[in-house]
Structure 1
Amino acid sequence: MSDHHTSPPVRRFRPLVRMRPRDPDEPHRAATPLELLFDLCFVVAVAQAGVRLAHAMAENHPVHGIVGYCFVFFAIWWAWANFTWFASAYDTDDVPYRIATFVQIFGVLVLAAGVPRAFDHSDYSVTVVGYIIMRIALTFQWLRAARNSTGAVRTTALRYAVGLVITQIGWVFVALFLPAGVWRWGYILMAAADLSVPSFAERRQRTNWHPRHIAERYGLFTIIVLGESILAATVAVQTALDEFSAIGELLPITFGGLLIVFSAYWTYFSLPVHEHLNTSARAILWGQGHYFIFGSAAAIGAGLEVSVELAVHKAHISQTVAAAAVTVPTALFLLATYLIHSRHAKSGRAEHAVLPISMLLVLASTFCGSWAVLVAGLTMAAGVAVEEVLHSRRWAALSKV
C-alpha cells in the first residue's frame, strides 16, 4: 500500500550555497542541531554570571552583585539574540555558515571566561574581547547575506553590518578608555545604541525571520535559564544530605525552588505566542523585553544558592535578604512574562489579574522567614491553578457558542 502522508522536506548539508533569505512561512521549521549546540555553550556563560551573583549576595554586596550581573547578562543575552534572529532569516547551514557559528561559540566561551574578572575587579576587557569575536563573525554573516541579495534586502543586511561595526567600536572605547567614574554611563549608552540597530536596519525592509521558529528558540533559552534553578535545587538536596542538621531549613528551599521553576515553566509555555509576532515592531519589542525574563529566571537560581548558603551558615546576610534574593527575581519574572509575553493571549479582567496578583503575593512572602521560598513556590503554583481554571472556563464557554 502507498503512503499518502506528506513528510517534511529534509534539508541536506551542502558545502557552499548562496545565502538567501529563507521563507518566513516555511512549514515544519524547527531549531537545528547547530542552534542547540550554540545554546549549550551559552549555559556556561549564564552559569558563571549566576555563580558570581550568588557569591556577591552571600557576602552582603548586593549592589555590586546586581549591577555586575545586569551588565554581564546583557552581553550574554544580546549576543545570543543577535545570532538567533540572523539564523531564523538566513540559516544556510553550509561550510562558511558553520565555521562562522563556531567562531561565535568560541567568542561565547571567551566572554564566559571573563565573567569573574568583570564581577570581582570591574574589568570587562576579556568579556569585550569575547563580544568582539562574536561580532566579527556575525558581521561576516551579514556581509555575506548582502553580497547575495539585491534591493531593499541588501540594504537591510548592510545596515546590520554597519550597525554592528559602529557599536563594537563604541564598546571598545568604553571598555578601554573611559575612566571608572563614568564607565557605567558609557555602558548604558552603548547598550541603548546596540538595541537600536534592529530598528534602524529593518526600517524599510524586515528580515525573513520565522515567527514559529523565533518563538521556539526563545522558549528553548527560557528552559536553559530555568535549568540554573534546577541545578540550585539539586545543590540544596546534596547539601541537605551532607549537612543533615540543617535539613529542616533546606527541604523547604528545595521544594519551594522546584515549585517556582515548574510554575515559571507553566506560566511561560501556557499559551502560544507566535501569532502575536506579526510585525517587526512587535517582534523587536517582544524579543528585547526577554532580557528581563531571561535575566530574572537565571537570577532565581542564584537566589536559591544564597538561601542554601544561609541555611548552612555560610552567608553573611539576614534571612530577609536571602529570601529577597529568591522572591524579587521571581516577582520580576512574573511581571515581565505578563507584560511582554503572556498578556496577548489573555481575555477578561480575571485572567489579566492573576500574574500581577501572584507577583505581589510572592513579594509579600519575603517576610515569611525560613519558609519564604516554599511560600513563594506555593503562591506561584496556586496562580498557575487559577489561570488554568479561568482558561478552561473561557474555552468551554466559547465551545458552546
Structure 2
Amino acid sequence: MSTEHHHKRRVLFAPRDPKEPHRVATPLELLFDLIFVVAIATAGQQLHHAMIEGHLWHALPTYFMVFFALWWAWMNFSWFASAYDNDDMLYRCLTFVQITGSLVMAAGIPAVFEHHDFDVIIIGYIIMRLALVTQWIRVAKHDQKRKVTAYRYVIGIILVQFAWLIANFSMIQLTPLLFLGLVVLELAVPFYAEKYAMTPWHPHHIVERYALLTIIVLGESIIGSFSAIQDAISNHTLNLQEVFLIVGGLMMMFAMWWVYFDRSHYHHERRGVQPFLWGYGHFFIFMSIAILGAALAAAVDVSTQHAHISNQMIGLVISASLVTYSTYIWLFYEAPYLTGWRRWVYPTTVVILFSIPLLFERIGYSVFAIAVVYILRLVLSKALLMNCTDESTHSTHLSK
C-alpha cells in the first residue's frame, strides 16, 4: 500500500479539484507570503524616503515598476498553486527557489531607487520565473488535458524573460515606456495560455489568497506608519496635530479593511465576471494600500518638519491612494447594484477627498478629515446598497 501511494505521489502531478471542500491556504503558501512581504516592505521604505526627500515624481514610476514585478511573481505563484499544489518534495523545493528569488529581488530594490539599476531585481525575478517554468513542464507531462496550456505558459514565460534580459543587460535602456511594453507581454501570456483550456483554480482558495495578501499589505502599512510615529515620539513631545494624524491613519486603515471584507461574499461570484479582470484589478488594491502606508509614514515626517514635501502634496498622495483603492471596490461591488442618483454619491465623495488637502494647512488635521469623510462614505454606501437590494426584492415580489 505504501509503495502504491509512493508511486502515485512520484508520478502524478494531477490538477486539484476546483470544487474541493474546505480548501484553504497551506503552511507553505503562508511562508511564501510572509517572506515575500519583505520585498514589499523594502519597496515601501524606499518610497517613504523618496517622498520626504522631495523626489516623489521620480519615485512613483520606479515604485510602480518594482511593485509590478513583486505582484506579478506572487500572483503567478498563487494561481498555479490553486490549480496544481500537490505538496510533493519537488513542488516544495521549487517553491523554496521562488522564495529565494523573492529575497534576491528585495535585496535589489534599493539600487533601483538610488541608481535606477534593475540588475539584481531582474535576476531575482528570473529565478522565480524559471522555477515556475519547471512547474509548468511538470503539468505538461502529467495533465494531458491541459498539456497545450502548460506548454504555452512555458514558451510565453521564457520568451518574456529573454526580453527582460535583453532590455536590461544590452545597450537598450530600460525606459518606463519599454517597461510598460514588457508588462503588456507578461499580462498577455496567461490570456494566450488559458484560451486553450483553463486551469482548474479553486474559487474559495483564490479569494482567500488575495484576502491574506490584502491583510498583510495593510499590516505592513500600519507597521511602517508606526515606525515613523515612534521616531517622532522619541525626538520630541507629541502635539495635537500628530495625535489627529495617528488617529486618522488608523481609522483610514481600519475602514479600508472593513470595506474590503464587508464585501468578501461577493468575491466568490467573480467567475461570473472575467476572472482576469478581477485578478489583475487587485494590483491597484495592493499598490494603493502600500503607497498609502508610505505616504502616512511620510506625513509624520512632514508634521515634524523633517521632510521636503508640502502638507498639501502629501495630503493629495494620501487622497489619491484612498481613491484608487475605493474606486476598484466601487466598480466591482457597488456600481453594478446602484441605480439613479445613488451612482453619483461616490464620484461626489472623490471630489471631497481631493479637496480636503487644499483646505487644511496641517497634515494631521487633513488626514483626520479624509478618514472621517471616508468612513461616512462607507456607512452611506452600505445603506444605499441595502436600499437597492430591498427595492429589487420588492419589485420581484410585485412581478410575481
Please report the TM-score for the alignment, with normalisation by the length of structure 1. Answer: 0.90
Uncovered stretches (5+) of structure 1, i.e. residues with no partner: 1-11
- Which amino acid in structure 2 is aligned with residue 166 of structure 1? L
CA contact (8 A) 1:22 1:208 kept: yes
**Residue matched to 1:322:** 314
Question: Is this contact kept in 2: 1:276–1:282, CA < 8 A?
Answer: no
Change (3 A) 1:270 1:298: same
CA distance in 2, matches of 1:270, 1:352: 19
Aligned counterpart for 1:49 among listed residues 43, 52, 58: 43
Query: CA offsets per residue over residues 74-120 of structure 1, 9 Å max, x none?
Result: 00000000001101111101111111111100000000110000110
Indicate whether 1:348 and 2:342 are aligned.
Answer: no
Moved more, 221-230 or 236-245: 236-245
Coordinate RMSD, CA, aligned: 2.1
Quick one: distance in 1 between partners of 2:228 and 2:175? 37
Out of 228, 232, 235, the residue aligned to residue 227 of structure 2 is 235
**Separation in structure 2 between the aligned mates of residue 52 and residue 317 of structure 1, nearest angstrom:** 15
Name the CA shift for 1:119/1:164 in 2 (closer, same or farther; >3 Å). same
Equivalent residue letter for 2:348: I
Higher mean Cα deviation, 388-397 or 23-32? 388-397
Alpha carbons of structure 1 residues 174 and 71: separation in structure 2 relative to 1, 3 Å: same
TM-superposed CA distance for 1:178, in Å, is 4.2
Alignment of 1:1-400 (within 5 A): 16=10, 18-151=12-145, 153-180=146-173, 183-271=175-263, 272-278=265-271, 282-339=274-331, 341-343=332-334, 346-349=337-340, 352-367=343-358, 368-370=360-362, 371-395=365-389
Does the CA contact (< 8 Å) of 1:253 and 1:308 recur in 2? yes
Cα distance change of structure 1 residues 178 and 88 upon mapping to structure 2, 3 Å threshold: farther
SS of equivalent residue, structure 1 residue 205: coil
Distance 1:234 1:351, change over 3 A: farther
TM-score by length of 2: 0.90
Q: Deviations over 1:169-194 (max 9, x none)?
A: 111111111443x6322211111100
SS of 2:54's equivalent in the other structure is: coil
CA distance in 1: counterparts of 2:15 and 2:325, whole angstroms: 34
**Structure 2 residue identity aligned to 1:163:** G
List per-residue Cα deviations over 1:144-196 (Å, max 9, x = no partner).
01100214x1111111111111111111111111443x632221111110000
Task: Report the CA distance shift for 1:300/1:291 in structure 2 as closer, same or farther (over 3 A).
Answer: same
More off after superposition, 357-366 vs 326-335: 357-366
Alignment-mate amino acid for residue 172 of structure 1? L
In structure 2, how many angstroms separate the alpha carbons of the residues matched to 1:121 and 1:237?
29
Shift of 1:17: 5.4
Aligned length: 385
Change (3 A) 1:178 1:203: farther
Unpaired runs of 5+ residues, structure 2, are 1-5
Measured after TM superposition, the shift of residue 398 of structure 1 is: 6.4
How many Å separate the matches in 1 of 2:343 and 2:32? 35
Comparing 28-37 and 100-109, the one that deviates more: 28-37
Q: Which has the higher mean CA deviation after the structures are superposed, 364-373 or 40-49?
A: 364-373
Q: Which residue of 2 aligns with 1:9?
A: none
Structure 1 residues 41-91: Cα deviation after superposition (integer angstroms, max 9, x where no partner): 121111111111111111111111101100000000000000011011111
Distance in 2 (CA, whole Å) between partners of 1:259 and 1:359 is 18
Amino acid at match of 1:360: V
Q: CA deviation at 1:247?
A: 2.2
- Counterpart amino acid of 1:169? F
Does the 8 Å CA contact 2:166/2:172 hold for their aligned counterparts?
no
Q: Is the 8 A contact 2:357 2:366 kept in 1?
A: yes
Contact 2:229 2:297 in 1 (8 A): no
Work out the CA distance in 1 between the residues paired with 2:333 and 2:383. 16
Percent identity, aligned pairs only, is 39
Letter in structure 1 aligned against 2:164: W
Tell me the SS of whatever aligns to 1:307.
Answer: helix
Judging changes above 3 Å, is the alpha-carbon distance between structure 1 residues 175 and 250 closer, same or farther for their aligned structure 2 residues? same
